Amino acid sequence: MKVGVLTGGGDCPGLNAVIRAVVRKGVQEYSFDFVGVRDGWLGLLKNDVVPLDISSVRGILPRGGTILGSSRTNPFKHEEGLRRVRDTLAAHDVDALVVIGGEDTLGAATELSRQGINLVGVPKTIDNDVSGTDYTFGFDTAVGIATEAIDRLHTTAESHMRALVVEVMGRHSGWIALHAGIAGGANVILIPERPFDIEQVCEQVKRRFQINYAPIVVVAEGAAPKEGQMIVKDQSLDEFGHARLSGIGEWLAQEISARTEKDARTTVLGHIQRGGTPSPFDRWLATRFGLHAIDAVKEGDFGCMVALRSTRIVRVPLAEATAENKVVEPSLYDEFEAFYG
């Protein structure tokens, strides 16, 4: 059997660990042949496929990014996309695909699976918003990076007695903001799941200044005020219909300065959350996902996604995993509000 491997959507730490696990077990235990698809779905549209073997994946476990490249390509937004995908697979005698991606990449995989293409999904995203799995790899690393940034910003905020707004990633879900905000001792955490009242935010900031404390506000890029819409700098959309987010942090800092008469600055962590070496947990989870994904291919259990449930790796139908985003449960956010009052 020949298996193709692709990584789609935004890069994140741990992608190479999955590729490594899939290829090593597939070659050593099942005697499969492998090819890597360059730049996600774009590689299948452009017939850009490269050989993969044990030597290709040697030494990549701690590397960030992906040796195969990635893109936000939606094959169904391109002329004759389905036919071109089929033609590339047939030209290289690929029997099955291991598709490593987040909501958009796996959403396209779900539709391709319905069209009869043999594939198994692996959930990756720093946002941790893929349903059906407790955690996606990449999330733990992103939270660690954001937490370290917040720790560092505390000291500079205190030195100048100013409010600092930290904008982290999270389009639909506030998992990074919530985890990093709590771990970093933030005073206000704003997430997409709960529209915020700017007056309440400013009151909390004022209270912190009154006790001679420089406040830290952590906001997910997809968070929005109750009165108004999501704030973005760039109105252009990608092939999955998503705006390129960023802007809420800058808007918040301006509002806080105007309403509290205190200096407020913004730090946008942006892509730094996605780069660099994966944490030990993400290496562990990505490796387990890869091992179980190639098992599913061997057993012919296509149209599924591997997932973490407690400490076990299970398989869930792709259609179920991509039906909706996994968002922060209200009870978790309520715990934070109760703790900080």
What is 244-299 written as a DSSP string? --BBHHHHHHHHHHHHH-S-EEEEE-GGGGT-SPPPHHHHHHHHHHHHHHHHHHHT
Please tell me whether residues 304 and 230 are part of one structural domain.
no
Q: Report yes or no on 238 lying in a domain.
A: yes
Sign of CA dihedral 286, 332, 165, 240: positive
Sheet holding 163-168, edge to edge: 188-190, 216-220, 163-168, 264-268
- Partners of residue 166 on adjacent β-strands: 218, 267
Identify the domain boundary among 241, 273, 305: 273
Residue 338, in any domain of the structure:
no
Per the residue annotation, which of 39, 127, 129, 295 is the catalytic one?
A: 127
Shared domain check, 120 and 213: no
Asked whether 105 and 294 are in contact (CB, 8 A), the reply is: no
Same-domain status, 226 and 124: no
- pLDDT score of 240: 66
Structural domain contains residue 329: no
Number of domains in the chain: 2
Rounded Cα–Cα distance for residues 171 and 301 (Å): 31
On whether the CB atoms of residues 51 and 35 are closer than 8 A, the answer is yes
Q: Where are the beta strands (DSSP E) in 38-180?
A: 49-52, 96-101, 119-123, 163-168
Chain-centre distance for alpha carbon 69: 16
In the predicted model, residues of the chain with pLDDT beneath 70 are 229-245, 337-341
To the nearest 10°, report the CA torsion of 247, 167, 173, 333: -130
Give yes or no: residues 84 and 102 share one domain.
yes
pLDDT at 235: 61
**Is 330 inside any structural domain?**
no
Residue 177 near residue 318, CB atoms below 8 Å = no
Query: In terms of domains, do 269 and 243 share one?
Result: yes
Report pLDDT for 229: 64
H or E stretch including 113? helix 103-114
- Residue ranges for the known binding site for Mg(2+) are 103
Q: Is the dihedral of CA 92, 95, 101, 102 positive or negative?
A: positive
Binding-site residue positions for substrate: 125-127, 162, 169-171, 221, 265, 271-274
Same domain (yes/no): 199, 150: yes
Is residue 307 helix, strand or coil? strand
Task: Judge whether 297 lies within some domain.
Answer: yes
Statement to judge: residues 197 and 119 lie in one domain? no
User: Residues 141-164, buried b or exposed e (16+ Cβ, 10 A)?
Assistant: bbbbbbbebbeebbeebeeeebbb
Residues 193 and 231 in one domain: yes
**205 & 127 share domain:** no
**Angle between helix 198-210 and 248-260 (nearest 10):** 60
49 and 15 within one domain: yes
251 shares its domain with 166? yes
Say if 334 falls within a structural domain. no
- Annotated binding-site members: 10, 103, 125-127, 162, 169-171, 221, 265, 271-274
State the Cα–Cα distance between residues 75 and 268, nearest whole angstrom.
Answer: 31
Check which CATH number belongs to the domain holding 206 and give it.
3.40.50.460
User: What per-residue confidence (pLDDT) applies to 227?
Assistant: 77
Q: Which structural domain range is residue 306 located in?
A: 2-138+278-322
Q: Is 300 left (phi over 0), alpha (psi -120 to 50) or beta?
A: left
**Residue 11 covered by a domain:** yes
Confidence (pLDDT) at 233: 64
Does 251 map to a domain? yes
Here the CATH number for the domain that contains residue 84 is 3.40.50.450
Q: Please say whether the beta carbons of 69 and 39 come within 8 A.
A: yes
Give dist(CA 91, CA 332) in Å, integer. 49
| Residue 33 designated active-site | no
Indicate whether 134 and 147 sit together in one domain.
Answer: no
